[in-house]
């Protein structure tokens, strides 16, 4: 078993801030104990239901891995735009523009110019936190 630190909360509808670019040490944050085969760098707690259609419920922990080692097409990814973050499904990513969606029909797809965004991670695992031990 190994510990994955929880970097903060995640949303699929509104951009949010994360302490990833600041001096705050992730090791000072709460953590999850996960199987040793997980390659996640950190975890985020999903706070809305925009990815419910993928089985990701509010309160679930998203294990975030380096996107360069995982496929991203049609997978939830962590997007950074101008210092703000968002978790969405990478529907179409190309050198010109990127299309990100949720599983809710009422949520508008997000089309962003490729030069304005950076995919900083991919969801490589989901942990339901019901009955799960969160350490300090």
pLDDT attached to residue 38: 87
Q: What is the pLDDT of residues 75-132, one digit of tens each?
A: 999 999 998 999 999 999 888 999 999 999 999 999 999 888 899 999 999 999 865 5
Domains held by the chain: number: 1
Domain CATH for 48 = 2.10.109.10
Domain range holding 60? 2-131
> What is the pTM assigned to this prediction?
0.87
Question: Percent of the chain, pLDDT > 90?
Answer: 63
Determine, yes or no, domain membership for 65. yes
Residue 136 placed within a domain? no
Let me know if residue 7 belongs to a domain. yes
- Residues 6 or more apart whose CB falls under 8 angstroms from that of 74 comprise 89, 90, 91
How does pLDDT run across 50-70, given as a tens digit for each residue? 999 999 999 999 999 987 766
Task: Report the distance separating Cα 15 and Cα 136, nearest Å.
Answer: 26
Cα–Cα dist 69/71, whole Å: 7
Q: Quick check: is 93 in a domain? A: yes
């Amino acid at each position: 078993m190994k510990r994955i630190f929880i970097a903060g909360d995640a949303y699929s509808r509104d951009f949010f801030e994360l302490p990833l670019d600041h001096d705050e040490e992730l090791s000072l944050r709460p953590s999850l104990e996960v199987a040793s085969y997980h390659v996640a760098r950190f975890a985020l707690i999903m706070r809305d239901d925009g990815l419910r259609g993928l089985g990701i419920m509010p309160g679930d922990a998203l294990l975030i891995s380096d996107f360069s080692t995982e496929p991203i097409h049609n997978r939830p990814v962590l997007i950074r735009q101008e210092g703000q973050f968002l978790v969405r499904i990478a529907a179409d990513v190309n050198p010109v523009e990127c299309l990100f969606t949720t599983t809710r029909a009422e949520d508008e797809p997000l089309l962003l110019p490729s030069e304005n965004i950076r995919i900083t991670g991919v969801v490589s695992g989901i942990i339901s936190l019901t009955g799960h031990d969160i350490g300090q």
